[in-house]
Chain A
Amino acid sequence: GEDVEQSLFLSVREGDSSVINCTYTDSSSTYLYWYKQEPGAGLQLLTYIFSNMDMKQDQRLTVLLNKKDKHLSLRIADTQTGDSAIYFCAEIGHSGGYNKLIFGAGTRLAVHP
């Protein structure tokens, strides 16, 4: 079945790079998404990558996609305390003729001085 897996915790020092990893199962997923959830808030779309791309860069964020291994990663350069949040990876699943987003359990990123 459809499943998205992420490690639950990551701790990094301020100024270092963070790499959050995700594995997914549906190779037909057109897009893959990264969402950010700050404490007490809803999820916000951080970035996404189209399935025919290997890499997407957006300022401090770099998304890498390895379709062969069904592996997605999010790299945050120069990590700041404001990056502390839970990061969710999501793929597109299919049910009853409709598409839906399937989320991983989320990776909690803690940034320390």
Chain B
Amino acid sequence: NAGVTQTPKFQVLKTGQSMTLQCAQDMNHEYMSWYRQDPGMGLRLIHYSVGAGITDQGEVPNGYNVSRSTTEDFPLRLLSAAPSQTSVYFCASSYVSGEKLFFGSGTQLSVL
């Protein structure tokens, strides 16, 4: 039982590049979400999904896309990376929305 797995752990991008952060969970959780963590600002919700085929925006969705084609996977796409997207990104899942979240180990992203 791996829990929530995120890849990559570290990534450096140039401004304007695109990339996908991967997230997979093996706990059959319906709810999955992406947060970004910035110093002094805590965790801010980017996008979330309450089940396969259903996604919605969180607090800071601009510049990011998500999709949920399977229960297990919830990738986060950066369309055109900007320095303001330099952050640590966490994927999290739970059985239902608003319940105890299980977090991945994070992806540290730097945009130059």
Contacts and interface: CB of A to CB of B under 8 A. Distances in A.
A69 to B, nearest CB: 21
Interface string B75-112: 00000000000000010100011111111111000000
Nearest to A29: B98
Contacts of A44: 103
SS of A interface (majority): strand
Interface residues of B, number: 25
B103 A98 contact: no
**Range for the number of chain A residues in contact with chain B:** 20 to 34
A36 to B, nearest CB: 11
Interface string A32-51: 01010000111111001000
Contacts, number: 61
Contact of B48 (A4, A43, A100, A103): A100
Interface of A: 4, 8, 30-31, 33, 35, 40-45, 48, 88, 92-93, 95-96, 98-106
Given A42-B105, A43-B103, A100 B42 contact: no
A88 B105 CA distance: 16
Given A98-B48, A106-B42, A92 B98 contact: yes
Contacts of B33: 100
Contacts of A41: 105-106
